Structure 1
């Protein structure tokens, strides 16, 4: 199996899209492991990533500040699936992962792996937030860990990553994916808060 960036994006999308499509409208206001995002806002963010990184593959300007509301409007699940396919296709164009792209003139191959990382990590965020199963493709985890290890110092300075979490020692060593989550400041043991029970007699 090849490990071109486009292949990796396609494999990651194959596991992310079912999670997004499995989100029900009544879950959109729920919390996620990203404290600043509820489910709706995180889906909106991930959709922005998928669209804007198509532009970055073409060496075009991106715009992550449009604040578009996506989740809960129209056939948003089908649209997300279509745009993730377009993302993999955009990075399959010859030369997409060569040279530099984006406002910070970063290596295009690294920028493409940022999109890969968002598909992998945010799929876990959304799965945990909505009670779904999610197991990332091991090859994509390896690629994302390498890219995020390079990006982590800058990402923490910019507030994109939290402080790296210390994983608990135990009989079973942490998985590569647990280490990736911890690198971004996430707690791999995060679970949805239990719903509050109404007060007696209320």
Structure 2
């Protein structure tokens, strides 16, 4: 195992998700109602549908942390369920952090595919990170990619490398986008998930 992978594993998923939460929740709170129909860097989603997708990830991955089964067969319209959706998202994200901080959450396997639990939790971490960036870009906000995000990026570099072949073949990831020489770790992560980090 290389040093960066080892360092990433020294952080619990609960710790990493807490860092991602601190960046995602302000972005979601900052989404104005008039931007809900705006396009996002995810071609299949406008802002409202991407918030609903991320909301679903945050809720369903709580079940996976407890070794339950998730349900992604439909995407509930949580944004349309009431004007307090921003606060409900924040509350559910708190629950996600707590679920993956619980003893045993990272142990064994999780989900119908019986994947390693830490990898499953890292998938939630990936969505909470890159989709928050997507929403920030779509609504003219800044995504805070500071030094505190470094352990998250170290974890996700390995996660994306592990998931990419399957994710690209199934259309979950687009083809990698080239990044500039000397690009930051966050820009490299975005490029590897098929996003243009220089998109304005």
Q: TM-score, normalised by structure 2?
A: 0.90
Contact 1:120 1:141 (C-alpha < 8 Å) held by counterparts: no
Contact 1:51 1:87 (C-alpha < 8 Å) held by counterparts: yes
Corresponding residue number in structure 2 for 1:188: 197
Aligned residue runs from structure 1 range 45-194, under 5 A: 45-74=53-82, 75-136=84-145, 137-169=149-181, 173-191=182-200
Contact 1:57 1:91 (C-alpha < 8 Å) held by counterparts: yes
Deviation at 1:145, TM superposition (A): 1.3
Deviation at 1:157, TM superposition (A): 1.1
Corresponding residue number in structure 2 for 1:13: 21
Q: How many residues align?
A: 187
SS of residue paired to 1:30: coil
Contact 1:165 1:183 (C-alpha < 8 Å) held by counterparts: yes
Note the aligned Cα RMSD (angstroms): 1.1
- Greater per-residue helix proportion: 2
Structure 1: distance between partners of 2:80 and 2:111? 29
Deviation at 1:148, TM superposition (A): 1.0
Structure 2: distance between partners of 1:79 and 1:139? 27
Structure 2: distance between partners of 1:107 and 1:176? 25
Farther off after superposition, 133-142 or 154-163 = 133-142
Corresponding residue number in structure 2 for 1:28: 36
Deviation at 1:56, TM superposition (A): 0.4
Structure 2: distance between partners of 1:148 and 1:52? 20
Corresponding residue number in structure 2 for 1:195: none
Structure 1: distance between partners of 2:196 and 2:60? 28
Can you give the 5+ residue segments of structure 1 that lack an aligned partner in the other structure?
192-202
Deviation at 1:66, TM superposition (A): 2.1
Q: Deviations over 1:162-190 (max 9, x none)?
A: 11112244xxx100001000101111111
Deviation at 1:72, TM superposition (A): 4.1
SS of residue paired to 2:45: coil
Contact 1:165 1:182 (C-alpha < 8 Å) held by counterparts: yes
Q: TM-score, normalised by structure 1?
A: 0.90
